[in-house]
Amino acid sequence: MTLNHISSKRVLIRFDFNVPMYEGKIINDFRIKQSLATIQLLLNNKNKLIIMSHLGRPNEGEYDKNNSLEPIAKYLSELLSKDIKFISTLDEQVSFDNNEICFLENVRFNIGEKSCDESLSQRYASLADIFIFDAFGVAHRKESSTFGVSEYLETYPGLNIKHEISTINKLIKENSRPMTIIISGAKVSTKLIVIKKLLSRCDHMILGGGILNTFLKAKGYEIGLSLYEANLVNEAKNILNSELASKIVFPSDLLCESFSQTKNKDVINIIKDDCIYDIGENSLQEIKKLINKSSSIFWNGPLGYVEKKPFDYATKELAKTIAKHNCFSIVGGGDTLPIIENLNLQNDYSCLSTGGGSLLTYLEDESLPILDKLNL
């Protein structure tokens, strides 16, 4: 059975509405908008919907207004032009009066959510006839609202996760070469395994952020006051001593700040007072040439400290270059997507993935238990 065949049922749906918020307002609604197709299809088939998600990292069993999903429920109501009943606790009755949609409060307020507690999973399952999973961003987490409930209800994939998985599989299986992979972020520790595995699959790998700094340190360069992970320098050295090291594209220059002054400096001229915040202009031009020769691109994480100008420049230029180039392109990671949307380039990529950690886990060939349930 597919979503098209589900009709006149009570349907429990797990989305990933863990979106950036500031003072109760949604900063980026990409993940919310990605849910609309699944919601609309199910409503068209006269189903009653119960939506659940998490937001932030609250302490289980404690209400935290800053992580309440009520503002997101209101926003979704506006997008759909439909009344949505907000259910503040699981003790409140889930009922459909003048509404077709109920929206549960943050699942991480519930004790047992993260440990995939059996009784909590059964409680979720008791609310509905069918379970739809459409939250690729948390597909790597075995929790009550992601995997646990699927043990007790018929479970099907939503439209968005089906699209994302099929698109990602094209990148993996069709072997469209040359392939360039861009991996960036503050911490190497969260991405070291995937760097190792993806090096064997790609032709070129570009590093950025704290990850790049750690590898520069491993190569013996001065990185000054820049963010890096000292305990992983030896791991980076091991990669650099492997036969795959030649695939890593290192920058020739970097954009640094020292004594409140921003300077573009050759990598060999970095001093102990410098802080590396972005790649340099010459390096950016070389990366652009590489992108334009690539048949497929996977990008995870901004190149620089994008929260502060002018260190967002290289990331924006990279986004524009990939968008213009006629190639197969997948972007994942919450920090990168808003930049692409702000540039209005979202329709120029093959897939903007809602997955961050789950996408990297999937690319590592690691098992995502819920995907086995969904036959994806």
Find out whether the peptide bond into 20 is cis, omega within 30 degrees of 0: no
Within a domain: residue 370?
Answer: no
| 196-223 per-position pLDDT tens digit | 888 988 899 999 999 999 999 999 999 9
Residue 9 has, within 13 A of its CA and on its CB side, a CA count of: 17
> Is pLDDT above 70 for 334?
no
CATH number for the domain spanning 47: value is: 3.40.50.1260
Backbone angles phi, psi at 279, to 5 degrees: -80, 160
Whole-prediction pTM value? Answer: 0.85
Say which range, 29-38, 280-289, 358-367, has the weakest mean pLDDT.
358-367
**Is residue 270 domain-shared with residue 328, that is, in the same domain?**
yes
pLDDT at 269 over 80: yes
CA–CA separation, 2 and 9 (whole Å): 13
Instruction: Give dist(CA 133, CA 373) in Å, integer.
Output: 10
What confidence category does residue 174 fall into, taking pLDDT thresholds of 50, 70 and 90?
A: low
Other Cβ atoms less than 10 A from the Cβ of 278: the count is 29
Q: Are both 122 and 241 inside the same structural domain?
A: no
Number of domains the chain contains: 2
124 and 222, same domain (yes or no): no
pLDDT at 176: 77
Tokens of residue 311, six digits: 């260190």
> Same domain, yes or no, for 176 and 216?
yes
Identify the domain boundary among 157, 188, 218: 157
Residue 375 lies in a domain: no
Q: Which pLDDT does position 89 carry in this prediction?
A: 94
Q: Are residues 214 and 132 in the same domain?
A: no
Judge if 123 and 240 occupy the same domain.
Answer: no
129 and 27 in a common domain = yes
On whether both 151 and 247 belong to a single domain, the answer is no
Same domain for 210 and 141:
no
pLDDT band at 175 (very low <50, low <70, confident <90, very high): low
Structural domain span for residue 114: 3-157
Q: 241-255: per-residue pLDDT in tens? A: 999 999 999 999 999
Domain end residue (candidates: 122, 137, 157): 157
Quote the pLDDT of residue 311. 92
